[in-house]
A = this chain, B = another copy of it.
Amino acid sequence: MSGFVGHFTNRIDAKGRVSVPAPFRAELARDGYDGLFCIAVPDLGTIDAGGNALRETLDRHIAQFEPLSFDHNYLSTALLGLSEQLRIDADGRISLTDTLKEAAGIDAQVTFVGQGFKFQIWTPERFAEHRAEALRRVQSLRRGAGAPSSGPDGGGHT
């Protein structure tokens, strides 16, 4: 269970394609998922991506509600309806949809960031900020600023 680890920056070509880092592809293959499951994270301006492990996490949340209830409906709309199922071509590339690109502000390059059971897709610029913010939070935590954060990037795992 190695999961997605490390970060890689790749270029988007003229046809809108970008290579998924080989280690991530290997992990997806291990996971047995066909394609790449992606969902925008509006609060962070990034994209969550992964395979079965990510899907199962979302499905578990949805499964808490009665299948035909309003809650179930809203949750599955937000988590499944607003997500995208991308195909990975023979060369290991994906084509991000306009919706996803817009949600993450992506244009020419993307940074893939491993997060264990899933990974994120950022613009290099936003990831740099996000990373700096993450470090700041960890530092203030060290100074004993208060309760352990449960907010975005509360320290990442590993």
Chain B residue at minimal CB-CB distance from A64: B147
- Chain multiplicity (copies): 2
Task: Provide the residues of chain B in CB contact with A67, threshold 8 Å.
Answer: 57, 61, 117
Give A2 Cβ to nearest chain B Cβ, in Å: 7
Residues of A within 8 A of B (CB): 2-7, 23, 34-35, 37, 39, 41-44, 48, 57-62, 64, 67-68, 70-71, 73-85, 113-120, 130-131, 133-135, 137-139, 141-142, 145, 147-158
26 intermolecular pairs with C-beta atoms under 8 Å apart: A5-B80, A5-B81, A5-B85, A6-B80, A6-B81, A6-B84, A7-B82, A41-B156, A43-B139, A43-B155, A44-B73, A58-B150, A59-B116, A61-B157, A74-B133, A74-B134, A75-B141, A77-B115, A78-B131, A115-B151, A115-B153, A118-B156, A149-B150, A150-B154, A151-B154, A152-B153
